[in-house]
């Protein structure tokens, strides 16, 4: 099924963006804001029907009482406050309820809430993007063990993409969080920048699924537990190269921003394609040469007569008579079949 997820972004949300202590590099913060603002302009130009943001909760509301792995906001609006700033976004409630139903049908069991607040993990990236329209928050348990695995997060994102596609909604997916940081620990001043750079290189190449290989211990050791939100967005986006990759580390966080603005890539021409209906006869003729001694004998005795045993268009007939492998592969023939056929025929033909 062609996905209706038309774009997305992965953005940082460090509280320092709004508190701005003296220790913060003001130029660095301004660059992060500018990158996000440009991403926001480009994503709005796509005119999506739905904006989804995957975000962790900072042990504020999904902690002591319940810690579901995934929670969809289905209220009419979501509000919050941080560092003197008030947040308020409309929530597409009916879409949220339908998304929950669709996910249940796909064997995911997300919780849902009508009253969850918005903290800076959602408020900062949406503010930086300049997004003021409705948004559907989905909260991911990133901080309180046991957390969902990266593979489960990626699969959840895939299920979200299938759901919005079934609903016919052009969708932008956002992920808030990351990269490496260690708030509240003695490693706070030492983000794992080398690890982050390696991952960003992989994501820049379009290999988003690579994130499912990180286990709980590695995420914790590298300060990247919030990448669970990224994995959800990655699953929804699929394998595609980002149009924006910006790494802007501070002394305590690695601020990294990625965005997918352009159309998803078309289907790659595979080295070994499926058998096209119009090439079935040619494939049968070649398969006989590769695996049937009697057919090979008939071909060597009279190649045109052998070709006439099959209903072939002129160009396919000529390619078979000449065993023109390049021509047959260019037509879309599975290359292993003419390769094996020619190998067998050349072995039996007398040396000249």
Stretch 165-191: mean pLDDT? 94
pLDDT digits 0-9 by tens, 244-255:
999 999 999 999
pLDDT level of residue 62 (50, 70, 90 thresholds): confident
pLDDT of amino acid 2: 86
> Quick check: 270 pLDDT over 90?
no
Give the pLDDT mean for 181-190.
92
pLDDT at position 271 is 87
- Is 90 exceeded by the pLDDT of residue 58? no
pLDDT at 64: 83
pLDDT tens-digit map of 296-336: 999 999 999 999 999 999 999 999 999 999 999 999 999 99
Tell me, what's the pLDDT at 5? 97
pLDDT in tens, 152-165: 999 999 999 999 99
Average pLDDT, the chain: 94
Calculate mean pLDDT across residues 216-225.
96
Under the banding of pLDDT at 50, 70 and 90, the label for residue 98 is: very high
Which tokens belong to 156?
């959840």
Does residue 350 surpass a pLDDT of 80? Answer: no
Q: What is the pLDDT of residue 73?
A: 98
Q: In the predicted model, is pLDDT for residue 169 greater than 60?
A: yes
Residue 265 confidence (pLDDT)? 65
Distance of alpha carbon 33 from alpha carbon 129, whole angstroms:
8
* pLDDT at res. 351: 58
Least confident among 215-219, 271-275, 277-281: 271-275
Please, are residues 126 and 88 in contact by the beta-carbon 8 Å criterion? Answer: no
Instruction: Quote the percentage of the chain above a pLDDT of 70.
Output: 97
């Amino acid at each position: 099924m062609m996905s209706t997820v038309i774009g997305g972004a992965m953005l940082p949300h460090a509280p320092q963006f709004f508190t701005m202590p003296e220790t913060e590099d003001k130029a660095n913060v301004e660059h992060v804001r500018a990158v996000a603002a440009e991403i926001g302009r480009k994503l709005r130009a796509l005119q999506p029907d739905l904006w989804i943001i995957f975000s962790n909760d900072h042990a504020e509301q999904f902690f002591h009482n319940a810690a579901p792995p995934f929670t969809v906001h289905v209220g009419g609006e979501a509000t919050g406050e941080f560092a003197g700033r008030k947040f308020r976004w409309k929530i597409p409630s009916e879409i949220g309820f339908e998304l929950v139903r669709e996910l249940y049908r796909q064997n995911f069991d997300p919780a849902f809430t009508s009253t969850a607040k918005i903290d800076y993990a959602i408020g900062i990236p949406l503010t930086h993007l300049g997004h003021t329209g409705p948004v559907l928050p989905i909260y991911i348990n990133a901080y309180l063990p046991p957390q969902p695995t990266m593979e489960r997060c990626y699969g959840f994102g895939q299920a979200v993409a299938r759901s919005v596609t079934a609903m016919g909604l052009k969708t932008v997916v956002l992920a808030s969080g990351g990269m490496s940081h260690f708030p509240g620990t003695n490693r706070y001043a030492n983000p794992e920048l080398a690890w982050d750079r390696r991952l960003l290189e992989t994501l820049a190449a379009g290999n988003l699924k690579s994130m499912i290989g990180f286990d709980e211990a590695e995420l914790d050791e590298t300060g990247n537990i919030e990448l669970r939100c990224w994995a959800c967005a990655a699953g929804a986006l699929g394998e595609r190269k980002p149009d924006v990759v910006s790494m802007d580390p501070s002394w305590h966080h690695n601020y990294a921003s990625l965005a997918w603005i352009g159309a998803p890539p078309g289907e790659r021409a595979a080295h070994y394609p499926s058998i096209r209906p119009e090439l079935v006869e040619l494939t049968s003729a070649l398969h006989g040469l590769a695996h049937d001694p009697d057919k090979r004998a008939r071909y060597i005795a009279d190649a045109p007569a052998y070709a006439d045993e099959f209903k072939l268009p002129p160009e396919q007939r000529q390619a078979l008579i000449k065993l023109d492998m390049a021509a047959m592969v260019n037509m879309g023939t599975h290359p292993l079949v003419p390769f094996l056929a020619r190998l067998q025929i050349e072995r039996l033909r007398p040396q000249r």
